[in-house]
Amino acid sequence: MTEPNSSRRSFLKHSLAIAGTTPVLAGMLEAQQVKAQPAEAQPTSASAPLMAYVGTFSSPLKDVLPTQVDLPPGNGRGIHLFQVNRATGALTAAGTYDLGTSPSCLIANAAGTRLYSANETDRVGDTKEGTVSAFAINKSDGKLELLNTVRSGGAGPTYVSIHPSGTHLLVANYFGGSVAVLPLLPDGRLGEATDIKNDMGKLGPTKAPHAPPGSFAFSGHDRTHAHMIQADPSGRFVLHVDLGLDQIFVWKYDAKQGKLTPAEQPSVSLPPGDGPRHFHFHPNGRWFYSIQEEGSTIVLFDYDAATGRLTARQTISSLPDGYAGSNFCSGILVSADGKFVYAGNRLHDSIGIFAVGAQGELTFVADEWTRGNYPRSFSFDPSGQFLYCCNQRADNVAVFQVNRAAGTLKFTGQFAPVGNPSMILFLDLAQVK
């Protein structure tokens, strides 16, 4: 997902030290660790804050990490922490966990006790591979303590998710064109990969057939690019997209071995050049929505939970009628009640809003300007009444109020300054086990 005439993510940055490797890397790991106090007694629901963690693109920080990582400039400081006002949605800065390795994607375990980051770099030291880190979360104030860091199974890890069983972390390596399965150890640390799959196939063309008129959108068709990986709601299957191959891969998941094997339908193809980037299941588990980065489309698939089979049924533009020029889609979200789908548009700098019909089909409702440029991702707070948009190139997170009946968004007037934000993750400390 790159802009024209650039090397693909101009804000790419990251890479962590790998525990148990060379002394140089071990020293780098120690240098970037921020001291955290041991977790204290479980807070009460009345006093426990709602936390937000913002992953960023962050250059090597001279006061934290040596410059032995392969990263272009980035404005973030690592993982930025905020306390969230539950009534107004306002974000109050609560510190950073300094990492000069672009922890661009974050995920927390179901208990809310551990956080994991994909550190999106091409190398650390002499190692041409990215890394993933595990953190303990302090129950009283949400602060992070580094547990360990391991190799991600490929260069440029851009996405992490946790399998519903809680036994493994799933990683998509964008620049490595691979996906990996990493065990989650009893103490929350990460083990070495139990499986790595390298994407293979025919690359798509430089022109997306469904792109808007006059579009020069071209980002990921120079090679294989695994962009997202996640299990289906049942956990029986794991799906991942490769933007360069224009394919969605479907795997059977072996929880005991941490292995992936091809499903009955091992992959499904999208129009060559459109570039599948992210996807989201409907709450009913039967409808699956894929967003295409270069084609600026959303495709509705029927999903068979018994076999993992996907069947395409509708294709709709992520943009309003009449738009012409280049656009790069980013994230896609289905509302918790399943009534609306939200699609990110970079360069158009909007969030498209779509109503979900009786059979899952989408109808355009409206689009909302993100109050910044290049909206990389967006997320709802746990209540669903606010939506937070990470405007990567505007260096801010913008806050919107959600009309849950109509699906529309209204800007609250609130921004949080964050250098090159990539994603925002919420954790209610009142619910931490």
Residue 142 half-sphere exposure toward CB, CA atoms < 13 A: 26
Give the mean model confidence (pLDDT) for residues 163-185: 97
Nearest to 344 by CA among 268, 421, 415, 269: 421
Task: Give the model's pLDDT for residue 26.
Answer: 35
Domain ranges of the chain: 1-178+413-433, 199-369
In this prediction, residue 122 carries a pLDDT of: 82
Q: What is the DSSP letter of 303?
A: E
DSSP 3-state of 29: helix
Q: What is the pLDDT of residue 245?
A: 98
Residue 254: exposed, middle, or buried by beta-carbon count in 10 A (0-12, 13-18, 19+)? middle
Average pLDDT over residues 145-164: 97
In this model, does residue 168 exceed pLDDT 80?
yes
Out of 49-63, 120-134, 211-225, 340-354, give the one with best mean pLDDT.
340-354
CA distance 67 to 58: 12
pLDDT confidence bin for 27, thresholds 50/70/90: very low
* DSSP string of 38-80, one letter each residue: PP-SPPPTTTPPEEEEEEE-BPPPTTTS-S-B-----B--EEE
CATH fold of 199-369: Methylamine Dehydrogenase; Chain H (2.130.10)
Q: Hey, what amino acid is at 15?
A: S
The pLDDT value recorded for residue 286 is: 98
Calculate mean pLDDT across residues 157-172: 98
Question: How far apart are alpha carbons 389 and 387 in whole angstroms?
Answer: 7
Tell me what percent of the residues of the chain surpass a pLDDT of 90: 81
Cα 8 → chain centroid:
16
Element (H, E) at 334: strand 328-334
For residue 93, what are its two tokens? Answer: 């800065």
Please name the residue that has the structure tokens 């106090």.
37
pLDDT for the residue numbered 46: 53
List Cα–Cα distances, 212 to 89, 206, 287, 313, in angstroms.
35, 14, 26, 21
Joined tokens for residue 183: 């065990």
Cβ-proximal residues to 135 (8 Å cutoff; 6+ apart), any chain: 97, 114, 115, 116, 117, 144, 145, 146, 147
Query: Is residue 126 over pLDDT 90?
Result: no
Mean pLDDT within 100-115: 96
Tens of pLDDT along 401-412? 999 999 999 999
How far apart (Å, rounded) are the C-alpha atoms in residues 396 and 162? 27
The region of weakest confidence among 65-69, 250-254, 332-336, 350-354 is 65-69
Average pLDDT, the chain: 89
